[in-house]
Structures are given as structure tokens and as C-alpha cells.
Amino acid sequence: MKKESLLMAMSLLISLYIYVFYRTERTLVNELVVRLISVEVYSHVKAIVSQSLPISDIMIYSMPEGLWIFCITLTSKPYYNRLFSRHINCLYIPLIFCLTLEILQLFHVTNGRFDFMDILVFVLFWLLGRYTFPNSCKKQHLLSSLDAKTLFCLASYGIVYFAHVFK
């Protein structure tokens, strides 16, 4: 569990780094950073970092979602949920969630741009999360006990909100 947690923390920190220094200022996470340090300081540091270490568009726009789906796949593995008296393996929720977001972008229901590269990246990271660190425990209902592990799983889904771009 320690290696898994460390890998998830590193993935989320890399995603945060990319969002803060390479993505638009209109995401909630960047709005929070601006409120903590000021627009001037943020703009100056962002310009220095992005010019000193340029990265590709795939790294900027697809990698954070891939890393995020990797993390939520790992946190979702031990759980199931019920829907219409059927057990739904939570392992598949990240994949369904990301595909749904891309389809909503395709039809301009949400902010963002539909991109096949995003789909390719998040499917690859979902597969990586699915087959990394095999889960040998019996699955439990997601909301049966709200321990730290369950709360982390639920919070990892909430991270998507911090990446939301406001108009």
C-alpha cells in the first residue's frame, strides 16, 4: 500500500504542476493559487517555469487526465456500488466517467475540447491502474464505511472540479 500511495501522490503532484504552470488561469486550482500569492507573482513564476521547461501539448493537455484516471482507478479497485440492485464494480467508473466527459465536450455541453488523444491517454492509464498493484481483497460497498481509504477514493473524484475551466 505504501508504494501505491506514493505513486498516487506523485501522479497528483505532477498533474498539479502541469495545471499550475502550463494550463489556463481560469481553472479553480489556479484561481486558488492566485488568491494565495497574487496575480503578479503567479504570472511571473508561471512565465519563468513554462519558458525554462517547455513541454509538449500532449503532456499539457492529456497527461494530467491520464495521471488522474490512474489514481482514481487505483483508489476505486476495492469497491463496488449498487445501481438498481446490481453490483457495479467501481473499477470501471473512472473509464465511464472520462468517456462521458469527452462525449459531453464533443457536444459542447461542458467546457473543453473533444480529443481522441485524451481518450487514448486515459484508456492507457486506466489499463495501467487496473493491472498495477493487484487487489486481492474482497470488494466492499463504497459507502459501507467512511474510513480514510474511502474518503480518499471519493476525494480523488472531486479533484476533477479543481481542473474545471470557468468561462
Digit-coded pLDDT (tens) for 37-60: 999 999 999 999 999 999 999 999
Count of CB atoms situated within 10 Å of the CB of 158? 8
How many distinct structural domains can be found in the chain? 1
The verdict on residue 167 lying in a domain is no
Tell me what percent of the residues of the chain surpass a pLDDT of 70: 94
- pLDDT band of 165, cuts 50, 70, 90: low
> Does residue 24 fall inside a structural domain?
yes
Read off the pLDDT band of 147 (50, 70, 90). confident
CA 102/CA 162 separation, integer angstroms: 17
Domain limits for position 91:
2-162
Burial class (CB in 10 A: 0-12, 13-18, 19+), 16: middle
The confidence score (pLDDT) of residue 161 equals 67
Region 145-152 average pLDDT = 83
106 has a pLDDT exceeding 90: yes
pLDDT at 158: 82
Side-chain half-sphere exposure of 46, counting CA atoms within 13 A: 19
**Buried b or exposed e, range 69-86, using 16+ CB within 10 angstroms:** bbbbbbbbbbbbeeeeee
* Structural domain contains residue 20: yes
Residue 121 lies in a domain: yes
Mean pLDDT of the chain: 89
